[in-house]
Structure 1
């Protein structure tokens, strides 16, 4: 480590965390704002909610296919070109949503957004924080993954207030332009590994890590062995269920609140939810740092399931706010828990390849998440039954992930030896 980095109170890792935060803000713009556009678009164009929210699903499905590809070729093409190309395509595509008048149009553009979305959002954000931090990684990852909630808290009331005046078409134009500008800022500052700047990861020396050398030697389960292992598929299935159960309801919360007579408060309540989600990510990240991934996982999924059940009993504003705050603890399941789980079980050496595959599969699940609640509403006339099913998915996810962590310690040891893994499939 250079003398400057030893004596300086500021470590560049925190700047990289800020860059990762901008990546997550892009994710919010491409996905989180859709919840406020469901009602005006379906009303104006005469779409069924389930059919319309399939465009959100298509974004998730396509990003599920492309995220492993981005992860595989990231070391070859470099993180700056990846972010630059992806953000330009996504910005233009988001602006083109403003010209859609048919479901087919929304579906086609969703293919382009979904195809390039991973390259400028969650993948670079996760890789940067994972590489730049040893100490307080959970805390840093919590802030990074939670920044989308801060962006949502700022943008939700703005979007809610200006959409009736400007119309949903101009909202898409504004979002597309903003994505292009933020993408340029990310490209200018992002750097995927401290060794390229002659630095060590934050906190490496304090914990006596071998990562104090600029030329860091990483260890971990090989990609080939990981994808054949039982822990890999337990984690993947768990994240899929958690993605559907927790993330799927997010897009429907404004419509749900409107349906129970809280339309006027929906924007404010969504801001409360977003800010709570940010705090939840910091909380869960800190739980991981101090108590380990098991405690963080149990807390996240148990409290989220309670929040989903609370939704079914909402009668007024105070209880709605309380339910949203409780449910927000489950938000880290789709962005924070997966990278921490991958590092815990498989190590850092093949992180981008393994994480991008798990993330890709979970994004496929995201493609069915919003429609799951949308079609559930269309079939039953309410969100009650889908929410109970979502709570059950949370509990199932918890048991799958805890089992994966237990088996993962054996997998790491066996992969370091010449013998075949005892936890391998086939």
Structure 2
């Protein structure tokens, strides 16, 4: 019986945090975009003002990141995630009855606190605790669950909003979030030790594996922030904030090139489909080749996608643009699965939780301004070709940084 629990529990925790993250994070971030135009009309404010919802959430997450690892250690995780799973659906329902913009932003503030425990930082910490082998593959599967959820719910919401109204649709989304997240939140545990279990793959590396949070107390923040690893990972995360939001820009790109209205949506759909497979595939590659070699391999493919997008733009080829959007999802996946694997390899288990949370805090602030800068470049230089060249240069820089970082791992005896 114990051996069955030993085999099943790590994957059950992975599925549980993946599903809770998909439902709560996915609904409040990506899927909320379907509701913002209607919310703006209801509140009689332009969409540009309503969109500060995301700015509020991202900035709150930036403040929360250094706090998240400490809370995960001190608070029972099933209680923590159950609380989040209850708050998020209630918040979604309340948005449908909001008549004041500031109340809407207050809900965004609360959402920002909640989803801070569902981003790639806590997911990486939990998977690092529960897996010695196939850690990055498990992280990839977590985000694949999110991709599947968003891929299913996005067209459903798009068809429901014009038929039954955005408030009723939002209530339905809230119910779906509650049904998926509340039961599975009860299975989330911070470490297998609390269950009398060992992490997956412990037979070969048992002596090496200890919970990163328990060992980080021996490492000061000063040691981390003065290390080369900290600055390399921080630069990587900050740089990736800009090309990683391209998925959200595809409809604008398609319209600017003159493609028909469906092309932009199909580019987003292609990226979502690729996302489902790329998350575990990139994670598995990092497990097999090592995070640095795996990252360089996949980012090289990401570079090729920008060349294809430029060709598609010049040839006015919608088909090639859609295919290229799918390939380009490598960059989007890297900001979750890929960067987590890299940070774990570069910081090591001792410093991973503290180091990764600190660099993520800074990068979230930078990320709040990524979309405006990208749109400015597109408008200033008259099209997306310049944007794609800009992104390609950034990806080339990250490949160089990864090469340097592979020789600058954080080491503490």
TM superposition score category, shorter chain reference: 0.7 to 0.9
Using structure 1 for the length normalisation, give the TM-score. 0.83
Take 2:52 and 2:132, find their aligned partners in 1: how far apart are those partners? 39
Q: Which residue of 2 aligns with 1:31?
A: 29
- Is the CA contact (8 Å cut-off) linking 2:134 and 2:287 kept in structure 1? yes
Q: 1:221 to 1:392 in 2, by over 3 A?
A: farther
1:14 matches 2:11: yes
Report the CA distance between 1:367 and its aligned residue. Answer: 1.7
TM-score scaled to structure 2, two decimals? Answer: 0.85
Distance 2:144 2:115 in 1: 18
In the TM superposition, what is the alpha-carbon distance from 1:85 to its structure 2 partner?
A: 2.8
Provide the aligned length of Structure 1 versus Structure 2: 406
Q: 1:252 to 1:90 in 2, by over 3 A?
A: farther
The reply on whether 1:343 has 2:344 as its aligned counterpart is: yes
CA pair 176-252 structure 1, distance change in 2 beyond 3 A: farther
Within the candidate set 166, 172, 186, 1:188 is matched to 186
- In structure 1, the gaps of 5 or more residues are 417-426
Residue in 2 aligned with 1:210? 207
For 1:40 and 1:383, the matched residues in 2 are separated by 28
Which of 62, 71, 74 is 1:73 aligned to?
71
Deviation of 1:47 after TM superposition, in Å, equals 6.0
Asked if the contact 1:272–1:324 (Cα under 8 Å) also holds between the matched residues in 2, the reply is: yes
Residue 292 of structure 2 aligns with which residue?
Answer: 294
1:6-405 aligned within 5 A: 6=3, 10-25=7-22, 26-37=24-35, 50-99=48-97, 106-205=104-203, 207-210=204-207, 222-224=219-221, 225-246=223-244, 248-258=245-255, 260-264=258-262, 266-312=264-310, 313-314=312-313, 315-376=316-377, 382-405=383-406
Rounded to whole Å, the distance in 2 between the matches of 1:16 and 1:172 is: 28
Q: 1:146-183: per-residue Cα shift (whole Å, max 9, x none)?
A: 22111122122222322332344444333333333333
Query: Could you tell me how far 1:6 is from its partner in structure 2?
Result: 4.1
Residues 107 and 388 of structure 1, relative CA distance in 2, 3 Å threshold: farther
Q: Within 2, Cα distance between the matches of 1:132 and 1:20?
A: 12
The answer to whether the 8 Å contact 2:82/2:186 transfers is: no
Q: In 2 relative to 1, CA 170–221 (structure 1 residues): closer, same or farther, beyond 3 Å?
A: farther
1:20–1:124 contact (8 Å) kept in structure 2: no
Distance 1:383 1:139, change over 3 A: same
Mapped to 2, the partners of 1:77 and 1:368 lie a distance apart of: 33
C-alpha distance in 2, partners of 1:383/1:48?
25
Helix, strand or coil at the partner of 1:202: coil
Instruction: Go from structure 1 to structure 2 and tell me whether the alpha carbon gap of 1:68 and 1:180 turns closer, same or farther (over 3 Å shift).
Output: farther
Deviations 1:59-92 (A, max 9, x none): 1121111122122222112322322333333333
**Are 1:35 and 1:253, in contact at CA under 8 Å, matched by a contact in 2?**
no
The structural deviation recorded for 1:237 is 1.6
C-alpha distance after superposition, 1:314-344 (max 9, x if no partner): 4344112211111011122221123212221
Q: CA deviation at 1:348?
A: 2.0
Find the aligned partners of 1:166 and 1:256 in 2 and give their Cα distance: 30
Q: CA deviation at 1:285?
A: 1.0
CA contact (8 A) 2:17 2:185 kept: no
Q: C-alpha root-mean-square deviation of aligned residues, in Å?
A: 3.2
